[in-house]
Structures are given as C-alpha cells and as structure tokens.
C-alpha cells in the first residue's frame, strides 16, 4: 500500500490506548481550558484521524508563514497550508503550558484535545495578510475561506496535541465518518491495490458518477473511495446527511459490489482552490489512495480561481513531496451527439448547445419545485432524495 506522507506508518494523534485515554480525559478536566475556533477544532480532528500525518500538533507562526509562502515548514517538511490554533486571547489559560482545548461545535464544549504549549505568539497584520493571500489567492473579505481564517483571532498557540474525540463527526455521521487509519484498514481488507479518491462537498450528479467510472477504467483501479467533507460549509450548500443519502443511493444502484466505499472526513471547507487541491491530495495519500481526481475549479468558490489552477499547482510542489498521482479531469457533461457523458475537452467537435448543461441555481430551482432534472443530468433516484430535501425547506 502507498506510504503515508513523511513517515512509514501513520502517526495519528488520537489516544487509542483505553487506559491512557481514560487517564488523559480525567486529567483534562483539571487543566486550564479554552474554546477554540471551528477551524482549529477541525485541524485537531484531522491530526487525530491521521489525515495530517506526520504533524504532531499546531504549527508556530514561522512554520505557518513558511507553509503559506513555500508549502514547506522551516524544517523543509512539506505541508500545503498552515495548521494553526488561533484564539482571541489567552485570558482563560493564563501562562499555563498544558491545556485542554474545548470543542466549539458540540453542546457543552467538551474537551477535544490536550495540548502542550510550546509557544504563544501574536500574529502581525502583515503575517496574516501574507498567509491569506498565499493560501486563498485573494484577501477579499467576501471570500468565505478568507472570512473564516481572519475571524479567529491573532494569538497563535503552537505545540503537540493528544486528541480525545472526533467532535460531532463520529456521533452525527456514524456510518460515514472514517479516520485515515480506518480507511487504510478497509482498503487492505478489500484487497484493493490501486485506489482512486473522489472529493465532494455536493451530491453527485450523473457527470460526477461517470467521471469516477472513467477514472477507474483508465487507471485500472480496484476501488474508488468517495470521500465527502462533513464539516462546516458556506450558507446554501446541501447538508451532509442529505448528500450522504444521495451518494449512497447512487453507489448502491450504479456501482458493482466491492468497487466503491462511501466515507467522509471531519474538516471545514476552506474554499481555497489550488492550495486546497494540494491539501486534498496530501490527506488522500495518508488514507491510502494511490490516485486522486481533480477536475475543473476544484475546491473553488465564485470566480477567484482559474478553471484548472488546482491541477497546474501540482507542477509547483517540491519534487518527491507526494507519491499520490493526480487524475486530471475536465468538466464532464452529457453529449447530445454521442448520447453519453464525456469530458468536454475530449469532444472538440461540440458546441455548447451539444451538451446538457444546467447551472446550480437552475437545478436548485427545479428541485425546489419538485421537478427532477433531466435523466442526462441526474439519476432519478438521486433527484428524488434532493427534491424531498428542498421541498422540506421551502
């Protein structure tokens, strides 16, 4: 199986030993504690899950800025984005060196992790501007990722963590949330050798489904891991339980047995386009995928990024940083001429009107009115699940 990034074996930060977990949970209740941001909590979940291997904890400011500028920490270790714990102030913890991090997304703010603080630093406006511009490609406050990153505070806590739980992901999505450790184990149990991963924060329409089939066929893959984001999204995005139901129905009906896993991970969407594409590839290698699909406007929002920036950025990463291979895909759509889904770049004799193309706005309007999109756009069984959701909120 493909090795994790930066180590021979995964080094998840979750405390698996029951006795150690019990002792740490007991200790945490007596430690000074602070409620962290949703982004910092998601970073803890990703480190606990092994997805951010081999990170041991939150980066200091020097490493964070270096990652933003060069995709490498000051040590030279590769990581495509800063992984920070930013807070408004340290009033709640004073000068404590060992603290409990409390979850902002679960009622009662239970302890998520215990942290040994190595540094408490104030991030300058210039450093925040540098990180924002490099990671998100813009400093526009209307960009949802920029807004979330810059709303956390300016005090950076850094140091190793020990993770005690996986926030709300394990309880809210028990059938879908999986750690990198668990996915590696399941890949091994299924006997898959060549695995392609597909990222989604949306339900999968026919074009997405066919793109996965194309990638599997062209790469000669044993299996597909559909890996959906389960964390915080922007307003208007479809909730994870609805996406989950729609994707599971599609796999049940249109994929052969033992060819596709439906899983999810606990992280908030950054909407960082190219940089997030690299991050997505990074943690898919850690979960055991040998290949990763990156299509048009991957992880983008609005008009901030070029259509294929998330593919070309892989030409800029340090040599040997990642072993996972990228399956570069164009926009896929139903061809009226060929009577099947094709990559648009592979149909040079087509005009725009030769494809079945529907905007997201148009699809949402149709679903809200109880109208299924055409069968060339969406499977009817998937459309029904989405119609039921949209009609429930109207």
By annotation, the residues acting in catalysis are 201-202
Going by C-beta distance under 8 Å and a sequence separation of 6 or more, which residues neighbour residue 237? 201, 202, 269
User: 326 near 294, Cβ under 8 Å?
Assistant: yes
Burial 95-117 (b: 16+ CB within 10 A, else e): ebeebbbbbebeeeeebbbbbeb
Is the dihedral angle over the CA atoms 47, 50, 53, 54 positive or is it negative? positive
3-state secondary structure of 133: helix
Cα–Cα distance between 164 and 152 in angstroms, integer? 23
* Pairing outcome for strands 332-335 and 355-356: antiparallel
What is the H or E stretch that residue 121 is in?
strand 119-122
Q: Which residue has the tokens 């039921």?
A: 388
Give the residue among 173, 209, 186 at the shortest CA–CA distance from 45.
Answer: 173
Cα–Cα distance between 12 and 50 in angstroms, integer? 4
3-state secondary structure of 160: strand
């Amino acid at each position: 199986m493909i090795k994790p990034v930066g180590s021979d074996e995964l080094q998840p930060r979750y405390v698996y030993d029951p006795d150690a977990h019990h002792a740490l949970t007991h200790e945490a209740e007596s430690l000074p504690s602070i409620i962290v941001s949703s982004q910092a909590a998601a970073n803890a979940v990703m480190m606990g899950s092994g997805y951010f291997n081999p990170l041991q904890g939150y980066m200091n400011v020097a490493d964070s800025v270096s990652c933003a500028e060069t995709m490498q920490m000051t040590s030279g270790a590769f990581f495509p984005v800063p992984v920070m714990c930013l807070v408004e102030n340290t009033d709640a913890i004073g000068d404590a060196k060992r603290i409990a991090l409390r979850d902002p997304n679960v009622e009662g703010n239970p302890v998520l992790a215990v942290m040994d603080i190595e540094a408490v630093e104030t991030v300058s406006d210039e450093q925040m501007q540098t990180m924002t511009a490099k990671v998100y490609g813009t400093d526009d406050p209307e960009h949802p990722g920029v807004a979330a990153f810059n709303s956390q505070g300016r005090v950076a806590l850094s140091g190793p963590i020990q993770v005690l739980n996986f926030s709300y992901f394990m309880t809210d999505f028990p059938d879908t949330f999986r750690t990198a450790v668990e996915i590696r184990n399941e890949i091994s149990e299924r006997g898959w050798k060549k695995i392609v991963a597909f990222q989604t924060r949306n339900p999968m329409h026919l074009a997405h489904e066919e793109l996965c089939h194309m990638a599997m066929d062209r790469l000669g893959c044993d299996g597909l891991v559909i890996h959906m984001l389960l964390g915080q999204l922007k307003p208007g995005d479809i909730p994870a339980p609805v996406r989950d139901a729609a994707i599971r129905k599609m796999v049940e009906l249109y994929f052969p047995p033992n060819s596709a896993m439906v899983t999810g991970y606990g992280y908030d969407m950054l909407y960082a386009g190219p940089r997030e594409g690299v991050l997505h590839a990074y943690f898919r290698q850690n979960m055991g995928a040998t290949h990763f699909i990156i299509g048009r406007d991957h992880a983008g929002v609005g008009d901030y990024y070029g259509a294929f920036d998330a593919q070309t950025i892989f030409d800029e990463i340090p040599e040997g940083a990642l072993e996972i291979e990228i399956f570069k895909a164009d926009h896929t759509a139903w061809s009226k001429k060929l009577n099947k889904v094709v990559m648009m770049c592979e149909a040079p004799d087509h005009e725009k009107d030769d494809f079945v193309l529907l905007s997201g706005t148009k699809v949402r309007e149709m679903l809200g009115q109880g109208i299924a999109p055409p069968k060339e756009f969406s499977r009817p069984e998937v459309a029904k699940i989405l119609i039921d959701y949209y009609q429930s909120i109207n």
